[in-house]
Amino acid sequence: MRELSKNFIKALTKGNLAPLLERVKLDTDLDLEIREGYINIYFKGNNLLKLNENFSFKIDKKFTEGITIPPSAFSTKDICRYFVEKAFPLIKEKIISTKTATQTLEIEYEQLLIRTNNYTRNVNSEYFIVDRHYAKAGEKIKYFIDLFGVFSDRKKRIRSNIVVAPFLAEVKYSLNPDIRNIYHQIEKYYRQISKDYGHFINQVEVLLHQKSKLGLIEASYGLIKKFKSATVDKDIKNLRILIVLIDYNPNSTMFSKDVINKIKGLEFSDQIYIFKAGFAMWKQNVQILYIG
C-alpha cells in the first residue's frame, strides 16, 4: 500500500523535511508522489529524488556529477534547506541536459494535468489526481494506469460528508500510435483493477487523505477539509475512465469511428469519457465569435 507514516507526514509539514515540501508546492516543475514508506519527486518524468522515512535519500548519479550534495540524509532542517536552495536547481539543470528515455512530452503533460487540477485553486476543477502509474505491490503488471484519483461533483460538495467517485485516466499525446488500440488498453486496466477493486479503492482513499494533509491538493478550505476524511465510492459501476487526448490532430483518422465503436462495444462503455486538451490549434477547434 502506498502510504506514509504519521511521523513522516509530520516531518514533511513541520519537521526537518518542511523546506522540501514547500519547494515542491511552489515549483510548478516538480511532482511529489507517495510510495510505500517513501516519496519520489519527479522532474520532466525523471525521478529527481527518492526520500525514505529515515530521512536518507537517493539521487541517480548521472544527475549529480559535479554537484555538491549534502550527506546522505536530511538530519537537520538546515541541511534540507541547503539542498533545496543550492542543489535542487543544479540537479534540475543536469536533468535537462541529460537525455533520458523518460523525457517525453506525454509524461510532461501528465505532470501538467496534475499541477493544473491539484494546485490551481482558481480553476475549481472536479478531478483531483492522487497518483501516477498504479500497480499493486508485489505484482508484476504489464499495464500501468497513467493517472488516477477522484471526481468531486460540484453539485454534491455542499454535503457535510462527501462520497467521491474514483477515476483513472489514460493519456495520449499527439499522434501516439497506441491510440488505435486504446480500447484494448483500457479494457486491460479495467480487468486488472476489478480483480481486487477493494484494494484499489483503499489506495485511492489513503492517498487522497494524505495528499490533502500535505497540501498537495489545492481547493477551497471546506473541500480540502472534507477530502481529509472523504469516502471513495466502492461500486465499480461508478468508476470513471478517462481517455485524455492531448494535442490530437482532428484531421487524423487514428482515433477513427472503428476505434470509437470498439470503445462503445466494451461492457463498461457508459463509464468512459473523452477529454481533449492541449495547446495546438486547428480551425476545427478555433471558433469565431459572432457579434450580431
Q: What is the pLDDT of residue 288?
A: 84
Residue-wise pLDDT tens digits, 175-190? 999 999 999 999 999 9
Residue-wise pLDDT tens digits, 38-51? 999 999 889 999 99
Round to whole Å and give the CA distance between 142 and 277: 27
Q: What is the pLDDT of residue 160?
A: 63
Q: Average of pLDDT values for 230-255?
A: 97
Q: Which of 94-108, 194-208, 221-235 has the lowest mean pLDDT?
A: 94-108
| Gyration radius (Cα) of the chain, Å | 20
Q: What is the pLDDT of residue 16?
A: 96
- pTM here is 0.93
Residue-wise pLDDT tens digits, 140-170? 555 578 999 999 998 887 766 689 999 999 9
Place of cell 502510504: 3
In whole numbers, what is the pLDDT of the chain averaged over residues? 92
Round to whole Å and give the CA distance between 232 and 148: 13
**Please, what's the b/e burial string for 27-60 (b: 16 or more CB within 10 A of its CB; e: otherwise)?**
beebbbbbeeebbbbbbbbbbbbebeeebebebb
Q: Average of pLDDT values for 189-211?
A: 95
Q: Average of pLDDT values for 247-260?
A: 97
Q: Average of pLDDT values for 111-136?
A: 89
Q: What is the pLDDT of residue 41?
A: 97
Round to whole Å and give the CA distance between 20 and 82: 10
Q: What is the pLDDT of residue 30?
A: 94
Sorted by where each begins, the domain ranges of the chain are 6-97, 105-285
Q: Is pLDDT at 287 greater than 60 in this prediction?
A: yes
